[in-house]
Every structure is written in structure tokens, then in C-alpha cells.
Amino acid sequence: MDVVDEPSLLFERVVALDIGKASLMACVRVPHPDRPGARLQEVREYLTLTPALVELADWLRCARVQVVGMEATSDYWKPVYYLLEAEGFTCWLLNAKHVKHAPGRAKTDRLDAMWLAKVVERGMCSPSLVHPPPVRHLRDMTRYRRSLVRDQTREKQRLEKVLEDAQIKLSSVVSDILGVSGRDMLDALIAGVRDPRVLAEKARGRMRPKIDVLVEALTGYFDDHHAFLARRMLDRIDTLAADITVLDQRIEAMIAPFARQVMQLDELPATNTIAARELIAEIGVDIGRFPTAAHLVSWAKFAPIDHTSAGKGKAGTTGKGNPWLAATLGEIVTGLSRTHTFLGERYRRIAKRRGTKRAIVAVGNSVLTIIWHLLSDPDARYHDLGEGFYASRINTTRRQRHLLHQLETLTGRKVTLQPAA
């Protein structure tokens, strides 16, 4: 045991864990029994196997630890965090960037654990958001589903490249080559049918008027080599589709306790049930973890960081946030950009002046603000302000000046206004 004199602390009994894949270093700091104001410090190493973690929990329980702090190291923190959480300990997951050791000091697991313990006991950090088990399980499902959808999209792109290699231009005529008609044509190609007219006759519904164009698009050099690759890819696409269907059923059962929140979010323009479920899985339903909408936006990294030095502002980025939440918000904003709504008009106004990337962040910020208000109030409902919201509130002179500038740019001439008769 080391004896150390320390200033006033936020927590008297803490432990910090420096976690690796195979082992962890634990540093416990508690008050000295005989010297007021002094601290006792002990460092031990444990394996990350379950029996060793149970032994660690027993040691922490004997030391009457108040808070367990640990860095978010890859996925190695999860089994340790979940086990200690189940044992009744208050666990803090800390961003490694926020608790980085002072420069110029030696770097070892032991010293890292000691430094982290000092940071936690003095309250020099804040814990990261860790959802309760039901939301964590739902999040695992929604993230895996999105991964399978991405894999399926990649496989479809590979299939289209095989067709292009064989000079089969089906994707130039058909919007979805894996639709009913397109799939029948591909199956026939793989089965050995090479006559373009026979293949084109498999068109159905609205594709029937395109038969002559399809005959030309299906005229190529598709051989057994292409058929072999296409068969493997189609089988892979079908397998992924089946897995996604099973996941959808599982997610639907798991999201049932949060049906009201899903219904509220589903009212947002360009937001479907799948996106609403993903938002619930990433943000959670305990919106009280975010005191204001600005806290939620900042946590999601959709608020640009202000960089000012010597009175000069510098271009700031939003930082690296949750990539899964950002992907869902990106899809929602992309859908909003094509709608005649307030958010759609907001996107177009910003994109015209600042570019699409900044517009996505700005509208994503607005979407998160709306989400916070919806989840904070069970009775809240989304009401769109309308596409003409900005036009009805812009100063008349400013609007006139803007229209004159547009007209001058269009005609290349100077425009002057005359009073009406």
C-alpha cells in the first residue's frame, strides 16, 4: 500500500481499470485509516476471464468502492462493465480522449490505472452514456441489420459489375434488376437461356412496353463463367434477405415496449419505422440523460465546435460521434431534401449557400432537436411549419434585393425598379 496526501475529493473510495484484451490493471484508492487527508493506494492485475473478474468484484466489495472508472478501450470494456454493473457497482465509462495522461510522463498500464483513479476521485471527467440492457440488445439487432443491408447492397453492386462485364445492360433499362421481371430474366440467363427476345418476354406490368429496348439491353456475351458468378451472388443476396427478415421480426418484438416513441418519431417527414427503431436504439428512451436538446445534439456531434484564438474564429468540425446514428440521420436528411416541407426548404437554403455537407449537419441538428422534444413529452406531436415558412418571414427589402440579383444574373443586365402606375 502507498500512502499519498491528497486535496478534497469528489469520491473517497474509487477504483480505476486499465483494460486490455487478456488482462487489466486495477488501482484502488481509499482514505487512510490513521492519517486524515491521506490516501491508501493499491494496484493489482487480473485476467479478464470471468472467474478472475468475479474475484475482482469481491475485492472491490471489500474495499467498499463507490465508483468504478474505466476507459472505453475497443470492445474489451464491455464484459468487465456488464459484470461489475450486474454485481451492483456504479460504473463510469470514460472517453480516453478526456482522461489522457499529462505529456512527458512514463506510459505503463500501472501508471495509467493510477492516473485514471485520480481523475475519477477528483471529478475531473464525466461518464459516457451506456444504455440499459434492453436498449443495448435492441441496438445490437439494429446495427447488425444495417450491416447486413450494407453487405446486400455490395453484393448487388458486384452482380451489376458481372452483368456489365458480359455486356448485359439490364440496369440501364430496369430501375431494379432484382425486381420480379429482372429476377426472372437473370434466372433464365443463369439457366442457359441466351436468346434476348425470349428473355425480354419475361417482362411484366409496366415493363411490357420496353420489350424492344430490353432485347437490345440483353444482347451480350453472357457465358457459363458469368453464370457461375451470378448464381453465387444471387444466392448470397437471397440468404442476406432471409436473415434481414428474421432480424426484422426479432426487432419488432423487442421494440414493442417502445411502441409509443416509435409512433412519435415515425411522424417526422422522410422517417419510416426502420429509421425510428434505429433512432430509439441509438439514443434510448431515457431522454432525461440529456438535460436539453443542445446536450443531445452535442453528444451526437452534430454541433460544430467553436475554435477562436486571438479574436479570430477558425473553421471548426463537429468531431467524431456515433457513426450508426449519423448514418440514420444522413438517410433521413437525404429524404427530407426531396420533400416540400420546412426541413426540406431549410436543407435547400443552406446547401445553396454553404454546400450539401454543411446542410446535412445543420438539418441533422434540427432533426435531433425535434426528436428531443418528442421524446421529452409523451403527448407531443410533430407539426410541420411548411415550405413557405421562411418566405413569409423574410424582410421585404431583402427579398426584393435577392430577386433583383437573381434576375440580373440570369439576364446579364442591370435591372432598375419603377413605381407602379
Model confidence pLDDT, tens digit, residues 214-272: 999 898 899 999 999 999 999 999 999 999 999 999 999 999 999 899 998 988 888 88
Provide the grid cell at 342: 420546412
Q: How far is CA 370 from CA 101, 164, 262, 298, 329, in A?
A: 38, 44, 14, 14, 12
Q: Are 266 and 272 in contact (CB under 8 A)?
A: yes
Radius of gyration of the chain (CA): 30
What pLDDT, on a 0 to 100 scale, did the predictor assign at position 320? 79
Which residues 6+ apart lie within 8 Å of 1 measured at CB? 40, 41, 42
Residue 404, pLDDT > 90, answer: no
Q: Which of 122-126, 193-197, 201-205, 357-361 has the lowest mean pLDDT?
A: 122-126
pLDDT of residue 267: 87
Q: For 1-5, 144-148, 212-216, which range has the lowest pLDDT when averaged over its residues?
A: 1-5
Q: Which residues pair with 69 in a beta bridge?
A: 16, 92
pLDDT for residue 1 is more than 60: no
pLDDT at 280: 94
What cell numbers appear for 169 in the block?
445492360
On the question of pLDDT at 106 being above 90, the answer is no
Q: What is the pLDDT of residue 203?
A: 87
pLDDT higher than 60, residue 118: yes
Average pLDDT estimate for 334-354: 90
Cα(278)–Cα(142) distance, integer angstroms: 6
Where does residue 406 rank: exposed (0-12), middle (13-18), buried (19+ CB within 10 A)? Answer: exposed
Those residues with Cβ within 8 angstroms of residue 103's Cβ, 6 or more apart along the chain or in another chain: none
Q: Note the pLDDT of residue 348.
A: 92
**Residue 199 predicted with pLDDT over 80:** yes
> Residue 202's pLDDT is what?
87
Q: Is the pLDDT of residue 2 over 60?
A: no
pLDDT at position 96, please? 76
Q: How confident is the model at residue 101 (pLDDT cuts 50, 70, 90)?
A: low
- Residues 53-71, mean pLDDT to the nearest whole number: 90
Average pLDDT over residues 120-140: 87
Each residue's pLDDT tens digit, 77-93: 999 999 999 988 889 88
- The 3 state secondary structure assigned to the chain is CEEEECCCCCCCCEEEEEECCCEEEEEEEEECCCCCCEEEEEEEEEECCHHHHHHHHHHHHHCCCCEEEEECCCCCHHHHHHHHHHCCCEEEEECCCCCCCCCCCCCCHHHHHHHHHHHHHCCCCCCCCCCCHHHHHHHHHHHHHHHHHHHHHHHHHHHHHHHHHCCCCHHHHCCCCCCHHHHHHHHHHHHCCCCHHHHHCCCCHHHHHHHHHHHHHCCCCCCHHHHHHHHHHHHHHHHHHHHHHHHHHHHHHHCHHHHHHHHHHHCCCCCCHHHHHHHHHHHCCCHHHCCCHHHHHHHCCCCCCCEEECCEEECCCCCCCCHHHHHHHHHHHHHHCCCCCHHHHHHHHHHHHHCHHHHHHHHHHHHHHHHHHHHHCCCCCCCCCCCCCCCCCCCHHHHHHHHHHHHHHHHCCCCCCCCCC
Tell me if 316 sits within 8 A of 307, measured CB to CB: yes
**Least reliable range by pLDDT among 11-15, 60-64, 301-305:** 301-305
The pLDDT-based confidence of 74 (bands split at 50, 70, 90) is confident
pLDDT > 70 in the chain, percent:
94
- Over 80: is that where the pLDDT of 312 sits? no
If pLDDT is split at 50, 70 and 90, which confidence band does 158 have? very high
pLDDT at 7 over 60: no
Backbone angles phi, psi at 394, to 5 degrees: -75, 140
Mean pLDDT lowest for which of 39-43, 67-71, 100-104, 169-173?
Answer: 100-104
Stretch among 146-160, 362-376, 404-418 having the lowest mean pLDDT:
404-418
* Residue 387 pLDDT grade (very low, low, confident, very high; cuts 50, 70, 90): confident
**pLDDT-wise least confident of 131-135, 269-273, 392-396:** 392-396
Judged against a pLDDT cut of 70, whether residue 181 lies above it is answered with: yes
